[in-house]
Structure 1
Amino acid sequence: MSLPSSSEPYRFPVAARYAGMESSPLKDIFALAARTDVVSFAGGIPDPELFDLEDIAASYEWVLANQGHRALQYGVSEGEVELREQAARRLSRDLPTDSSQIRVTSGSQEGLFVVAQAMLEPGDVVLVESPTYLAAVQAFAVHGARMIGVETDDDGVVPEALEEAIRTHHPRMVYLIPTFQNPTGRTMPVARRQAVADVLLRTDVPLIEDDPYGALSFTGGTWAPIAALPGMSERTLLLNSMSKLMSPGVRIGWMRAEGPILNTLAVAKAAISMQSSVVDQLTVARYLDSVDLDAHVARVSAVYRERRDAMAAAIAPVLPAGAHVTHPDGGMFLWAALGEGYDAQVMLAEAVSAGVAYLPGWSFFADDPDRSTMRLSFVTHAPAVIEDAIGRLGEVIAQHPRR
């Protein structure tokens, strides 16, 4: 008996949490980045010419020559001890940390998914900055959580608004990116960090602190995490990543935590991916042990600062009157708000046709999005390329007068 033919493709059943999500802003970022006819400012994609290729290759070679059989075998969900020791050493500059307090993840993105798996029930509320990192919103949302955006200003989340949101919504946790925030590039000053910590301590709400960009400083200054403030280490899950410092392709990050949650995080990690790549973990550990990462990051940051300056100088004259653009002291992103009457999503197709791409800002809001906003990454391209592409973007903006 022959089966009936159909021109329609077979459709597998899809979980409700993924219904209508055939695409996503993250997926679209990489599609734009792959186009050779477009200068893409859409993704936070490091310039591969700046990778420390020689030292990374040497680290892989050393691991395979000296630990090859172990490197190619299964590992443990908590992470390989050498990497956990290196992570603890780096974190201890600001926050005393033992290797037992580290859980290794496949980048901080998996860390967010592990946190959501370990902590969230359907219907739980997560308070986030408005705007915030879009992939964090996705990771929490697919676990059934409801994101509530909290008011921000140029110094980050507003403490009074955070306290009011906690009283109103009784959240399971608060998620923040205090240093060189994605998408805005803003950094919380020390006084703001302390005020936020005071709110969290007073209301007894845990903090998920995401810090993938903190080392990429353009001023030479660094900021201790909120987790390092008195009383906060035991109630903070601190996420870090090597993606922006060494290589995003290696996909290695880690979380710092204290107490019983460490066991739960390991169980959740095992359920998701068993363990992160052992050969990559041991290579990152070898790299951190044998290479001056701080010197490499300083060289990269100097290049990024030059590119930030090029983008800031090019974009200022093409923005409409009343527009606002951030000027970050580190990280990867500028955030431009064109103002009422503009829609960055509507302009995107014309911008791509003109050979330049950005990420419309609406996708970074948990609720009530500002559709006039756009995120632009300055790290991928040289200053001359940035200046030319921003000029073309300015022509597109000029064709969309304020409605």
Structure 2
Amino acid sequence: MKLLEKFEESMQKIFNPLAQKVGANKVLQAVAQGCLATVPITIGIALVSILVNINVGGWGTFLESSGLYRAGQEAIGVTMSLLAVYLLVTISYSYSKIRGYHNLIATVLSMAVFLIQVPSTLSIGEDQSVMALTSDYLGSNGIFVAILISVITTAAYCALMDKGIKLKLPESVPPMVADAISACIPSIILITAAVLIKLGFSHTPFENLFSLIATMIQTPFMRFGTSPLAFIIFTVFCNLLWFCGIHPSAITSVYTPVIIGAIIANTEAFASGSPLPYASIIVVYLVCSIGGNGCTLGFCGSLFFARSEKLKALRKVVVIPNIFNINEPIIFGVPLMLNPYYFLPMLLTPLVNGFLGWGIFSIFHMSLNPTFVLGFPWVTPGIIVDFFVGGVLLAIIWILCVFLDFVIYLPFTMMDNKAQLRQEQAFSNGEEG
């Protein structure tokens, strides 16, 4: 414990000043508050996500016949698959409040600017199209753009209002009416700018802002292969994106065909009794993201040592979903995203897990059954998948990785815990005073 305490003290000297600077930044405050406000959505849909994606015995048949599967998927579609929209609203509202504007105008304008950027002309045949919004850019693929637009639009609105670029109305006009009418000039400026930005992108190879972001992220990984080292580096980069608020789905969609191709090649070799050509990458794939990107199951274990009221309250609602690989409540609720305390553990854990799994497999050459990788629903707890894929040894590797993730996260969680305790104590003293 003394070694752990010394490490924690040395890390506090580095991260506490950084955390204080981050905490004083109004934009990052707004992003953190906005992300936290989405926890009721991600937690609320977690149970439904688990139940409708488990296919055990006759449960899948029952879900289909009763209509529960369709209803559940539709519920997921308007919650988790529209997370960018929820974040857009909560971040913009939080930022406008921090800037001293307690109305909803900035939030509504941010929504308008965001939706203007969303491609809404869909081809339905030759020379035929319809106007419609799809969820392609409203969920994970639109999170970074939503954060960007909510901050920029709100900042621009507040700046215009601060400089008096608004309709001035007599004091006799009720505040609710005055807020809406006085914002007309900023609204015209911001919406016109949004249209011009969309027009500008339409004349580029990217066609829209979302494609620009996706292409910038995807291009560096187009040539990645099936080596375990490549996948470990890829996972670390995904975690870096998550930390910065960019959902890694933009690049996982590129890399997923590579992984699936490797699994299928292994499955065909397994069926024919031949050696698996890509055996090691299966092991790395199964241990690099335990609980989700960031290896957040280990973080859940560290929460049981936290004493701050915030972290104890979050512990009650995030641990069980994370066992089933749902980690959005942790990323946005704690949050891990843009939280300097968790920058290092989010990058270190996949490195440790990946090299540990790869190393043990290289030594023991355990037998694997890759068919189970494709056969299990994504909400299946990792230890179950690992046991069926690689037997007891792979299950032990999984447990060892979770323990190491816990050890890595613990000192950083304790630093965050102390910072939260100080804030709670200051708030309590302020109330009492």
The two structures have a TM-score, normalised by structure 1, of 0.28
Structure with the bigger RCO (C-alpha within 8 Å, sep 6+) is 1
**Structure with more of its chain in helix, by fraction:** 2
**Structure with more of its chain in strand, by fraction:** 1
